[in-house]
Amino acid sequence: MNYAFPPAPVVTLDAMSSNPFPVRRIFCVGQNYPDHVREMGADPGRDEPFFFMKPADAILQNGETMPYPPGTNDLQPEVELVVAMNIGGKNIAPEKVNDMIFGYAVGLDMTRRDLQKSFKEKGQPWEMSKSFDFSAPCSSITPEMYTGVVAKGPIQLKVNGQLRQSADLGDMIWGVPELISKLSHLVEIVPGDLIFTGTPAGVGPVVKGDKIEATIAGLEPLIIEIG
């Protein structure tokens, strides 16, 4: 097949002893830890979870430097458990979800918080506050055969060695099976999809030169620098 220009390469994440995982789409969930919902000025109820997306090529590989993005003076990292799907489906029952998961990773939902705030105030789409170049740093994937089902355990974010975010995955308002089940009622999940599952409290700005270390028990730590 000839194209008008060479198509973009497939974005992949390493996956230990498995072949690299080809990333298809990135879905993110907003406000999924009660203390973070409160710090954002909202009520942590059991409203339906809401989703947004980032392009696959927003992935920044572990160990790389993230260029400070344009259009913001308030870049904030959000540490999140990332779920990698290798089986797809529509209208998936929560109890089936764990059988469709390939593995887990540590991700950062990088956010231009000042833009997000102003979009919220104007009732405009968030898109450009969340979905931009290098906005999805992600560790390699640990296949589920090594971890079992990941539903609890510490999740933390350090900036220059200082602890900013610290919580337990079990604090999620919507657990992974419910989240992915609900997402699959809105879109058909396909192999290669990643789901960023929300961040706990303690978000704050980073600047050029900062070293960010994001960890979840049992997974490869994600370490990036802002450049």
Q: What CA–CA distance (Å, rounded) separates 86 from 19? A: 12
Residue closer to Mn ion (CB basis): 68 or 126:
126
Least distance to Mn ion, CB of residue 226, Å: 17
Least distance to Mn ion, CB of residue 22, Å: 23
Residue number, nearest CB to Mn ion: 109
Least distance to Mn ion, CB of residue 114, Å: 16
Q: Report the Cα 225 to chain-centroid distance in Å.
A: 17
Structure tokens at 181: 């089940």
Residues that bind Mn ion in the complex, under the rule CB under 5 A: 78, 109, 199
Residue closer to Mn ion (CB basis): 29 or 85:
29
Residue closer to Mn ion (CB basis): 82 or 85:
82
Q: Are 143 and 134 in contact (CB under 8 A)?
A: no
b/e map of 82-116 (b: 16 or more CB within 10 Å)? bbbbbebbeebebeebbebbbbbbbbbbbbbbbbb
Bridge partners, 177 (sequence order): none
Q: Are 22 and 10 in contact (CB under 8 A)?
A: yes
Least distance to Mn ion, CB of residue 108, Å: 9
Least distance to Mn ion, CB of residue 78, Å: 4
Least distance to Mn ion, CB of residue 150, Å: 17
Residue closer to Mn ion (CB basis): 52 or 68:
52
Place of tokens 């919507």: 174
Residue 145 buriedness (CB in 10 A; 0-12 / 13-18 / 19+):
exposed
Residue closer to Mn ion (CB basis): 72 or 199:
199
Residue closer to Mn ion (CB basis): 29 or 86:
29
